[in-house]
Structure 1
C-alpha cells in the first residue's frame, strides 16, 4: 500500500509531524519504503490504521512502561506518554515516550523468537565456592506472547530490508558473513538549559541500532547507542554506531560457531547427492555440476558432503566430501570462513576462529590425522591486513 510521505497533520495541532529530511519526504511511496527510510509520517499513518487502543495495548504487551525484572537494583521503568493524540502519534515513531535499552531488547526478543518474548536475566547461576553446589540457577522464562509466529517472521523480513535495501537507513550495519535484521534510531536530546530539543550540530542526537542475526533464525540481539559522538569529517551518526555493532555481532556469532550464511546463489545446476558413491564416482558427478571437490580422508567411499545435495553454490565456494578412511586436514590457506565451517562440521572438530577475511594460519597442519572433538584454531586476515603485514 502507498502513502504520501513528508508531512502529517494531527487534528488541532498547527505544527506537522515531519520526515527527517525537513518534511520533504520521498513522494508517494510504499509503507515498506517508509520503514526503510525511517519515515515518521509512515508510522503516523499506520497508527490511524491500527487505532489508538490497539497500539496502546501493544505497548503494554511488549513490556514498555514497567521494569523487566532483570535482577538488577534501581531498574528504570520508563514513561509512556499516551494521553493526548499528539503524544500517541509521537510515541509510535519513538519520541516523547521514554524506554530503556533492556526493554527494547526484551520486546525485540518476541520478534527474534517467533512471538515468544523472553525475560532478560544477568545471573546464570550461583555456585557455593566451598562445595561447588549450585545454590540458584536461572531458567529461561517467557515474559509474554505479544505477536504471532507469522507476524514475527514477517517483521524480521521487513527489518532485514532496512539493511539490504539501497534506500535503507541500516545499510552500514550489513555483515560479510551473516544476514542482519534491524533498525537504526536517531533520537533528539532535550537541552536542560532551554527545555527544548538540542539543535545545530549534526551530532546533537542519540544514534542507535538494534539488530539481530542470523536474520532468518536469530541467535543474538545487539543494541548499540551512542549519544553525541565526536564525528570525523564526512561521517554521519550511524558510522560510530556501526563501528561498534559490526565487530561485536560478527565476532560473537563466530565465537558461538554459528554457521555463516550465503547471501546470493548462482544459477548453476544443484549439487548431486554423492553420499555412498566411490570417491571416483563422486568426483565425476560433481565435476559434471561444475565443481572440483576437496576430499577429506583416505577412504574409498563418500560418507558426507557439504553443501548438501540440492543446494546451489556461490562463485568460488568449495565443495567438501568426507570419506570412510582416516581423516586428515587439507591446507586451508586462503579459504573463506564459510568453507572452514564445512570442514569443521564434517569432521566434528571444535572450531575457534580469530579475525576476519581469509585463512592465514591453522593450528593443525595440513595432512595431519584428526579425531572427533579435537580443537582447531584458525586465524583469518583481510586482504588489506595481509598487504600491511607484507609492507612491514
Structure 2
C-alpha cells in the first residue's frame, strides 16, 4: 500500500503528521484529507466539462454528513442528496443552497416532507405511491410547486454484497419497472397540479467495480424516457444514474478510477440521445463513497495483546465496531499500517480487534504489521465512507472526533463526544 510519508517516515494525512494528529486530538480519531475530496469531485466534473455535457455531481451525503462536509461541497459547486430530516437539518445549518439539495428515502414521513417543502428543497426523489400521493396532497394544500424525480428499480443487479444491491426487482426501493408501476407513477405524477416531474432516478448498488451495470442502466433509462416522452408528451430534463462507484479498500481491490464510470455513462447517454432522436437530459451522478472513502483514515491507539500458542495474536485498539461497524455488518475488508512506519516490513500477522464486548468486533481479521507495542498508533485506511456515519454508542462509548486536514492545517469539524453527552437524554425513573 503506497501512502504519503513525511521526512520522519511517519504517515502523513493532508500534509500533517498522523502521530501529531493523534497526540493533539486523541484517539480514536477520524481524519479526512480535504484536498483528496476536492480532487475527486473536480475529476467527476471534468468528465462532464470535457464531454460538453450538462452534468451534476450530487454528493451522496449518507456516506458522511456534517456541516463542514456540506460547506466543502458548496465551495465545489456540487449538489448534495439527503435521506433524512437530520441530514436536511445539517444542510440548513451549513447554509447549503437548498435548490442544490435532493431528498431521497423510501419512507419519508409527512413531517420530513413538510420540512423539505418549508426549506424549499430543490428536488424530491419520490420512491413509492404512498409518498407520491402524500406529496401531491401536501403541495396542493400549500399551493407550492416542487420538482420531483421518480426512482425506479430497473431490474439490474450490481455484482456486490447483497446488502449493497438496490437496482434488482426484489428491492425495497423505487417503482418497479417490469410490472409497469413506474409507468403508472408517471401518469399519476403528470396529473398532480404542483408536482413538476423533471426526470428519472435509478441506483443499482454500491462498491461496484464493473462498468457494464452502469452502461446497461443508462441504456434502459434513456429508452424509458424516450417512451415516456411519446406516451405522456413529457420532456425529460434529468437522468440520474445514482452512484456506487467502487474504491480500493485493500491491495486485492483493483477498481477503475471513479471518473471512468462517469465517462462510460456519458458516452452511453450521448449515443442513445442520437439513436433515439431525443435531447440529452442533464446527467446527475450521486457518488458518496468514491468522494470521501479514500480520503478518510481512522487512527487508533494500541492497547492490550493476547497471544495463544499456535494461533494469531489479538491486538486490541481503543475503537472498533462502534466507530466502524462495516466489518461486523457485512465482512468489509480494510488494511492498516503503523502510523510511525507505514512502509516498514511486517514481522507478524495479527487479528486487529476493537474494545467492544462482542466476539465479532474484529476490524481486520488478518493484518500483517511490524512489531507493535501498547501506545503505538495504528491507522486504518479508506474509512471515510460509512464509518463515522454509521457510528454508535454501543457499550456507552463516545463517538470519536472528526478532523479535516488541508495544506498541513488541521481543524476539528465534529467534536469528540463526552460521557456527559452519553447521558444527557436520560431521565430518572425515581
TM-score, length-scaled by structure 1: 0.24
Structure 2 length-normalised TM: 0.23
- Give the greater-gyration-radius structure (CA): 1
Higher relative contact order, chain-length normalized (CA < 8 Å, sep 6+):
2
* Larger proportion of helix: 2
